Amino acid sequence: MQQGNFRNDRQPWMEYGACTEKIRALKIVERNIAAITRPARIVNENVASSGKYASHAALQAGAKIAAAQSAILSESKAIMHFDGGRIGPLA
């Protein structure tokens, strides 16, 4: 093994473990992104109905979108720090 070359110092099972953890973390981000688009679709469907109901749905969806964005931010920060900070939030 070469000294100072991190890639050559790692064993194959370590690489596999790191990859599976990265994939698991990215799936969490994908789930959070889906949580953002779902309320937006509900609002679009409800806009065609009465104005009162649509505005109420928009308020609820806005709260859900804000919560999902906050979750994505925290998950992204966790992923950025995962594996020594060598990967970005969506890389």
Give me the long-range contacts of 81-86 (CB less than 8 A, separation at least 24): 82/21, 82/22, 82/25, 83/18, 83/21, 83/22
Helices (H), 1-91: 6-9, 12-47, 51-81
- Cα 49 to Cα 44, 54, 61: the distances in Å are 10, 6, 16
Please report, in tens digits, the pLDDT of each residue of the chain (91 residues total): 445 555 555 555 556 666 677 777 777 777 777 776 666 666 666 555 555 555 676 677 777 777 777 777 777 666 655 555 455 444 4
Its pTM stands at 0.33
Structure tokens at 25: 């973390």
